[in-house]
Amino acid sequence: MSSGLLASTCVPSVFSPGLAGFEVLAVEASVVQNYSFSVPSFLRFVQPSIELTNATFCNVTVTYTHPGEEDRVSVEAWLPPPQDWNERFEGVGGGGWGAGRFFLSYSTMAGALAEGFATVTTDAGLSDQINPDTWALSSSGHVNWHLMENFAHRALGDAAVIGKSVTRQFYGKAPLYSYFNGCSQGGRQGYALAQWHPTAYDGISAGAPALYYPEIASTLYWPQQYMNDINYYPYGCEVDAIVLAAISQCDDLDGVKDGIISDVDKCFETFDPSELVGQSINCSETGQLTTISAGAADVVKASWAGMTFADGKRWHGYRPGADLSGNLEPLLKEGMAKTNCTSGTCTGIPSPLPVAWFRFFLAKDPNFDVAGMPESEFQRLVHLAQEEYTDLMSTTNPDLSKFRDAGGKLVSFHGLADQMLPDQVTRDYYNEVTKLLPDVHDFYRYFPAPGVGHCFGQRGGSPLDLFQQLRAWVENGTAPESSPVTFMDDSGETMSRVICPYPQEGSYNANCGAPADASCWSCQLRNKETPLVRDEL
């Protein structure tokens, strides 16, 4: 289709989206030409890198409100020319405090467009997709619950309906299949769609999801809170040395030396950071030999053991191998025990994500001093988070029967070296669904990914074929029995293997050949379940 002909169909009058419960405020439509984007795999999560070159598409934005709530939500769809459309539809997720319609979402949409998908994103009515300080609280200082509901799930269902509506009106027919792809907050959105809007998508890919949101959002601050409580902030090099020592010691628990920890449970049980106290290391922050301190070991142990509740119970901590300092992962550079020691005295550097959580959603005070929060106040606010946000934001309803009955398929992965969201939350949720729906494996599969950080990165290989496997499952019934991954070990050798749907795990056949050969790996049931938390540090 020529750009001139596309321009005649890419006009607001073509589109008249309607849905009970909201009022359309505006429809915009325009032709975008010569749009190019190099989309790296880490912005597609379960898909390889792709090039979008000189693309032409119809950009449609529908703005609407839920009457009486004074919100203003925008849904944006990118529609390729009819001859380039693959007759499929893809919704994309957001990240952090963003529902979508910002640079992360646009990157994923560019990848979808390159493959011929009509694709959609929503801003959920949030005025800022990075910082919640502009929308979290109303003028009266109360949490804006209408926008929180949009963010939690409602706008996601709206976007699917509106996006498919404009797709049908543009092409004259509905998409054959619809998919959703997201990670982190976008992963939680995928689960929210399966739970709250079970007929919205045929297939959902949801990576590293922020499930059990009240607890996990608080967990993001736990290592900083612990350092504040003990008034000790280690050099990042000390933390890195302990993490790297854990990887070295626990690397071959699966029988293969490849620079990653596959059995994170066993490593957690057997590796003691305190054994490194007193060792000398080269430290870039001091420019000289530095001794690993007892305080550094305590910070690592607390980060691994998990957030302590007032009654002595613990929430999931980070895994051995996760980048606690933010120094080991060159792309994300995000560590929950991050410190700044440039002045000679170390201070904590918290992620802005949990700072906003405590400041706006729990304390409900833009000026709340998160860094000065005593342990008693931390405990009070963590308890408040569970009381106020579990029903809306936890996203852990195990009853996926409506999603199953609608024919939906859900694939999920979580890195076992995730430095932001502990992987145990995804495992816990899968187990809860299994208790309720014993046929869970027929429609939902979860792939733990050894050595992978938050959504991407670290040493392990991301499952870049998983989205294509989801399509095969939806469209021809071929369920993913394993998913291939490729990465480099410490020596630079390329390693190929498979990751497996839980509760199976990858098993190397030592009689087969080289561990770098994926054909020497198979999926086997786990021999045992290990404790998820320690009772004490």
Q: Catalytic amino acids?
A: 184, 418, 454
Look up residue 448 and give its DSSP letter.
E
Distance CA 206, CA 467 (A): 10
Listed in sequence order, the residues at least 6 apart from 290 whose beta carbon sits closer than 8 Å to its beta carbon are: 235, 237, 238, 280, 281, 282, 283
Distance CA 486, CA 516 (A): 9
Residue type, 398: P
Q: Closest by alpha carbon to 63, among 95, 26, 107?
A: 26
Structure tokens at 353: 């994500």
Look up residue 154 and give its DSSP letter.
I
Distance of CA 485 to the CA centre of its chain: 18
Residue type, 339: T
Tokens 């790296």, residue located = 40
Residue 384 exposed, middle or buried by CB count within 10 Å (0-12, 13-18, 19+) = middle
Axis-axis angle for helices 222-230, 375-393 (nearest 10): 170
Structure tokens at 515: 């561990």
Listed in sequence order, the residues at least 6 apart from 369 whose beta carbon sits closer than 8 Å to its beta carbon are: none
